Amino acid sequence: MTFTKWNFTMSVLGIVIYVADIAADIWVTSNYFCEGQYSLGILTLVFRLLSSIIVQIFSYEWFKDDCGSPDPGKLNWIFLLHFLHGGIFTRYWFALKDGYQAAFKQNSSGDKLTGGPASIIHKCAIDAGTDISMLRVFKTFLETTPQLILQIYILMEHDKAAFSQYASIITSFSSISWSTLDYQISLRKSVPDKNQFSGVPPKLIYLLYKLFTLTSWILSIALVTLLNIISSIFLLIFLWTLGFSWTLKQHTTFCKSKRMEFLYRTVVGIILIFTFFNVKGEKTKMYISSYYATHVLVTLGIMCVCLFWKTSVTEQLYFTFVSITIVLTLGLGIICLIVYYTVFHPTIYFRQESASDEVDGLTGERKKEEISRIRNFIME
């Protein structure tokens, strides 16, 4: 488990994208209020606030779990930072501090680093980065993706947009793409007995698979919303119900408390509206096939409804462009999905190392204890 200079650079890039995403949302929201579009401004703020609250809750609970029996004064300061919605920035501070020590100071100090042995420092940096990646996945599908659908809907509804809206759409797509890829990389790096997600081809194919399938689905939902908002709301509620029910059926054990586990399953239900991931680290061939087969059928159903539902929307020039983009990205996404799982999945692309070479000096029970939270959230 080695935290490299490249990993540190990616951590810096991650916080830059995170800040840029926040700045774009503030920019768009301020424009809405200045133009008198208060409902759109409030809706944008609601997405941001609700997702931030949920992310802060998970982050604070993880701090408590990781600290064991922390100093009350320190815990109060951590609670205050999360109450002020600074939990992610707090985690970035620890991640960059440990990451810099692991990536740069080891070169000049050999096997020993300031603050502890090299292996411990590297593990702290990797675990900190993985927790941030997990929280970014929550934020991506709780706030960034709904925000993106809203901005695309507004763009098509008014047939014009300010530069700030285009900036918000671009940063949202960048944030979504980055979070899905970065999470997969960080996750496999933090689990010793998993093949590493390394090499350019697997990363590129995985990124394209996620980007294309998400683009197709996001545009489809935006199109349904444009045709009929009520139908879109019912579709999203129905899909969330299916995802939440599947999560209940899986008997997930991600959190230590029942209330946090319920919140986790609720969040998973929302994420499953947009993309697939494995909540228990089990084989996913049957689940992922069923999931994307359903996505294809629903998307084709939406396109058929649009073609036979003669409204002013279908007569617009952008409708043709959006429809072609939906079909094209869906096809490319499914192709990349098949290529990834048949050629570039880590279990196929790389030979798994022996268990004795993966973790030195840890018993089986200790290994299970240290990576339990991560293992219960392994994506496909």
Tokens of 282: 């089990």
d(CA 172, CA 284): 28
Cα 280 versus chain centre, distance:
17
Planar angle of CA 302, 305, 307, nearest 5 degrees: 110
- The per-residue pLDDT for 358 is 32
- The per-residue pLDDT for 273 is 93
Determine what percent of the chain is predicted with pLDDT higher than 90. Answer: 19
- Whether the per-residue pLDDT at 95 is higher than 90: the answer is no
The one-character DSSP state at 138 is H
Stretch 161-172: mean pLDDT, rounded?
72
More confident residue, 285 or 291: 291
- Whether the per-residue pLDDT at 217 is higher than 90: the answer is yes
Amino acid type, 99: G
- The per-residue pLDDT for 374 is 54
Q: Which residue, 185, 139, 195, 119, is CA-closest to 360? A: 119
Mean of all residue pLDDT scores within the chain: 79
Least confident of 7-21, 75-89, 237-251, 309-323: 309-323
- The per-residue pLDDT for 349 is 59
- Whether the per-residue pLDDT at 363 is higher than 50: the answer is no
pLDDT in tens, 18-49: 888 788 788 888 888 888 888 888 888 888 89
More confident residue, 197 or 125: 125
Contact 285, 338 (CB under 8 A): no
- Whether the per-residue pLDDT at 108 is higher than 60: the answer is no
Least confident of 33-37, 90-94, 193-197: 193-197
Least confident of 124-138, 206-220, 358-372: 358-372
Stretch 264-277: mean pLDDT, rounded?
90
- The per-residue pLDDT for 299 is 92
Stretch 344-364: mean pLDDT, rounded?
46
pTM: 0.83
- The per-residue pLDDT for 58 is 93
d(CA 147, CA 169): 8
Complete DSSP assignment for 324-371: HHHHHHHHHHHHHHHHIIIIISHHHHSPPPPHHHH-SS--HHHHHHHT
The one-character DSSP state at 119 is H
Q: Find which of 142-151, 323-332, 341-350 is predicted with most confidence, using mean pLDDT.
A: 323-332
Tokens of 314: 């279908």
Strand partners, 113: 116
More confident residue, 181 or 314: 181
Q: Which residue, 180, 194, 175, is CA-closest to 345? A: 194
